[in-house]
Structure 1
């Protein structure tokens, strides 16, 4: 915040002094003249502090636009890995006209908060292709959760994975093996096969590929959504997601 205010103050100084600069060659000023000029600009900013806040707004808009442009470039460069990696679970309408990708951690509070709204968006719309990227970043229990979900999918298929996904996003129990066995049994899945498969090399490859992709996209938190060429970093309310879908469709 301090850095933003300093930068914005410099921008405000430029704005406030632009007319004077047009008529004044600063390089030809004496030290005394330059100091007096600076004092005048400083006095102006103190008398009109709203100029600084206006400059903060301009700076933030420029930074947001630059970040959005950077995100679009990263998405375009990595679009195959994002939208068609061949291994991530695909839900919603597989033939939908809009694809939404979510990088999630089952133990992430904001992922849990977003879950019901994502479900409402996908089910209520009916024409959204929804892809889940397992991205466990909150410690060993997060990694165990993702390994469990991916192993359930290998053992029981896509429907079983969706059931595990839904269970894990609200799960508050232990991540020790006996608890995971009970969780698998509650889903009607072969618990022995699930536990045995959690360290399968294929699962290692999936998790590493997702981490590598997240690094290329400069994703460091969850949830992160990719919709068309837009990256949404963090929790996004349902109405905003619906508006973005509408914009994508034109």
Structure 2
């Protein structure tokens, strides 16, 4: 909560003299609200207050950032929550949607995989959208392309979940060869995967994710959008559940 200095409150409740009154000796009127002298006094008090309380600047910046994120999320609602290019897990008609941006070579994403599966299990009304965000290497990009191609031939998402878990939880670096091996292991149509990877739809899906991440200011993975809030990092089940609850009922615990 932002605290307001009592001296600022006192000045804010002062009323400008009525139009018929003689001009104030403190300065000329600057329109409705305050005289020139009053404005100068307010500016001086505010400046001194922020010098003495620099943490208030950080608090205001955090509030401004939160408002900016809400606007970005609202403006990109369709692409974030309902894009046909990305996989939906959990309850397709859930009352809360959690969007996760991830990279197959991200160690924190490997940890967050168990968090996501636990949240889906514990929240029958949770809808999860997965968005590829390959930022770590060429191998990450190649693996993401294979993943999008797997998703294109699996509208139910069941094969993709199997692929996603095997690739993300496996040892070593993810790259094209390893991603293709996992796709073959889960029974994907390999000829179609190679064809789709060369086509425009895979590239468009990855471009969409990149543009969304850039608009949201995400620079690393995992990053989430839950309701009107962004969450950065592998913060754990408890914090993600609190954000889900907040989106659902307005409180950290429903």
TM-score under structure 1 length normalisation: 0.72
Counterpart secondary structure, 1:169: helix
CA distance, structure 2, for counterparts of residue 106 and residue 192 of structure 1: 22
* Maintained 8 Å contact 1:104/1:136: yes
CA distance, structure 1, for counterparts of residue 52 and residue 158 of structure 2: 52
Which residue is equivalent to 2:241? Answer: 242
Which residue is equivalent to 2:166? Answer: 167
1:82-111 CA distance string (max 9 Å, x none): 111222111100011001111111111221
Q: May I ask how many residue pairs the two structures share in their alignment?
A: 204
Which residue is equivalent to 1:38? Answer: none
Which stretch shows the higher mean deviation, 164-173 or 99-108? 164-173
- Structure 2 residue 203 is matched with structure 1 residue 204: yes
Kindly state the Cα deviation for residue 155 of structure 1 after the two structures are TM-superposed.
Answer: 3.4
How do residues 62-101 of structure 1 correspond to structure 2 at under 5 angstroms?
A: 62-101=60-99
- In terms of fraction of residues, the more helix-rich structure is 1
* Maintained 8 Å contact 2:104/2:174: no
Kindly state the Cα deviation for residue 54 of structure 1 after the two structures are TM-superposed.
Answer: 8.1
| Residues 201 and 57 of structure 1: CA distance in aligned 2, closer, same or farther (over 3 Å) | same
TM-score under structure 2 length normalisation: 0.71
**How large is the RMSD of aligned CA atoms in angstroms?**
2.7
Which residue is equivalent to 1:182? Answer: 181
Which residue is equivalent to 1:47? Answer: none
Unaligned runs of 5+ in 2: 9-48, 250-254
CA distance, structure 2, for counterparts of residue 92 and residue 60 of structure 1: 37
| Residues 156 and 246 of structure 1: CA distance in aligned 2, closer, same or farther (over 3 Å) | closer
CA distance, structure 1, for counterparts of residue 215 and residue 96 of structure 2: 23
How do residues 72-151 of structure 1 correspond to structure 2 at under 5 angstroms?
A: 72-151=70-149
| Residues 154 and 128 of structure 1: CA distance in aligned 2, closer, same or farther (over 3 Å) | same
Which residue is equivalent to 2:45? Answer: none
